[in-house]
Amino acid sequence: MTANAAISTPFASTRFVLAVLLLMGIFTGSACTQKNEPGSSGQSGTKTATIFDPEFNVEYVSTTIPAGWIFQGGVFRGDPCEGVSSPFYRVSSPDGLAGLKVFPRVDLGWSNNRAYIPRAEQGCQPYEGDLTAAGYLQYLIALLHVNFVKDVTEPAQVEGARKTAQSFYGRMASYSGDAALARTTFNINGIPEDEEMAVTLICHTENLLWPKGTNKKVCTAEPKLVWAPKGKLQATMELLGPAMKVKNNPEWVQKWSRHVAQQNAAIRAQNNSYWAAQREQQAQFYANLQQQTIANGEAFRARLDNQYQVHEQQVAAMQRGGDMNMARAMANVDAQSRMAADACDYALGVQRRVNPDTGQAYKTDSNYTYDWVDSQNHHVLTNYVNDNPNGIDGRRDYVLTQNEPN
C-alpha cells in the first residue's frame, strides 16, 4: 500500500464529503465551539480543554492537553443515520509541527435491497460491498497524499473496537468492530514529519420486517492521527495520551436523554394521530356506503358489493404497510431510548445488575466486575471472581448478581 494506491470502491461515494471536511480542517459540524481553561488536574504543564454545546447551553466533553498548546473542537450532532453525537477536535503545538486530530465521524449505510440503501440526505453516505477499517485507512492515505510506511495494527486494538460495538449495539442488533493503524510520513514546509493514522470502524446490521430477507448495515468510521517531527512521534504520542480521551459531562448526557425522550413522544403522538384519522375516515366511508345502499335499494347494493370488496383489499394493504412502517419507527424509537440510557449510565460510571434469586434490578459502580449481595441488601464489590464472602463470619446468604451490558 502506497500513498498513490487506488481508492477502494466501497468509499468512492464518500470521497467528496470527506474531502470537503479535510480541506476545511476538521472543524465542520452541526455545532462547533471551543473553550480552554487552566488545568486543575494537578499535573504540571497541562490544562483542561472543553467543548461547549450551544444547543444545550452546557459543556459537552473535556480533555487534558499540554499547557501552551492550541485546542479547537466541536460537536458532531446525531442524525437519522446514527442518533448519538460525538466530539471532534484538534490539539496542536504552537509551531504546528506536532499535534493530534480527531476527525468528525463518517456514517455510511448499505442494504442488500437497493431500494433500502440510505440516501445522503438521511445522514448516511451510501457505500457498496465489504467495509473494513484497513480499507478505509488505505482510502484516507490516498486522499491525504501521505507516504505509507508500515501497518502497526495490534489484535488488542481490533478487540477493543469489537467491545465498543458490543457496548452500544449488542442488545438490539448484530454488531461488529474493526480497527487499523498505519505509520506514514509527509513534509511541512520541507520539514520531515512522522505520523500515525488510525481508523475505528463500528457497524451494526438490522434485519427489516419487510420485505423478507432484507437487511440494512450502518457503519461509523472514526479517523484520528498524531503527527510530529521525524524521530519524535513516540514521545509526542505519550505526551498527548491524555488528550486522546474525553470525559463526558453528565449534565449534557441528561439533557440529551430528555431531548431524545421528547422526540420519541412526538413520534408516538404523530403515529397515534395518523391512525386515529385513518380510523375516522374508514368509519365515515362505511357510514356513507350504508346510507347510499339503503337509498338506492338492492340493485344499487349489488353494484356496490364489488366496490366494497375492492376497498377492503386496499384498506388491508394500507394497514399492513402502515403497521410495518410503525413497527420500524417504534424499533428506532426504542433503540434511541436504550442508547440514551446506556450513554447516561456510561457517563455516570454505573452498571445495571440483577439479583438472580429475587429478580431485583439495581445499579452500582461499574468499576467492579462482581457484586455479591445478601438478604439485608449488603453489597460486596470486587474485581476478583474468587472473592466469595460466603463462609466469612459464618455467612451463607450472599448471592452473585448478574451484569447487564450498559
Residue range 148-194, pLDDT digits in tens:
999 999 999 999 999 888 887 555 568 889 999 999 999 999 999 99
Q: Among 229-238, 268-277, 309-318, which range has the highest average pLDDT?
A: 229-238
Alpha helices in 44-195, H assignment, sequence order: 133-144, 155-169
Q: Among 50-54, 209-213, 280-284, which range has the highest average pLDDT?
A: 50-54
Strands (E), 13-140: 35-38, 46-53, 58-66, 70-76, 86-92, 99-102, 106-111, 125-126
Average pLDDT, the chain: 81
pLDDT surpasses 60 at 5: no
CA dihedral 262, 263, 267, 272 (to 10 degrees): 10
pLDDT tens for residues 193-221? 999 999 999 998 888 888 888 988 889 99
For residue 90 the three cell numbers come to 484538534
User: Strand pairing partners for 111?
Assistant: 216
For residue 107 the three cell numbers come to 456514517
pLDDT tens for residues 320-351? 877 887 777 776 666 666 666 767 777 777 88
Mean pLDDT of the region 57-68:
96
Residue 126 CA to residue 109 CA, distance in Å, equals 5
CA dihedral 140, 145, 148, 151 (to 10 degrees): -10
pLDDT surpasses 90 at 385: no
Percent of the chain with pLDDT over 70: 82
- Domain positions in the chain are 9-247, 249-334, 350-403
> Using an 8 Å Cβ cutoff, are 53 and 252 in contact?
yes
User: Strand pairing partners for 75?
Assistant: 31, 87
Q: Among 240-244, 263-267, 328-332, 364-368, which range has the highest average pLDDT?
A: 240-244
Query: What is the H or E stretch that residue 255 is in?
Result: helix 250-348
pLDDT surpasses 80 at 285: yes
At 405, the amino acid letter reads P
Q: Among 3-7, 35-39, 202-206, 336-340, which range has the highest average pLDDT?
A: 202-206
Give the pLDDT score at 171: 54
Residue 380 CA to residue 370 CA, distance in Å, equals 8
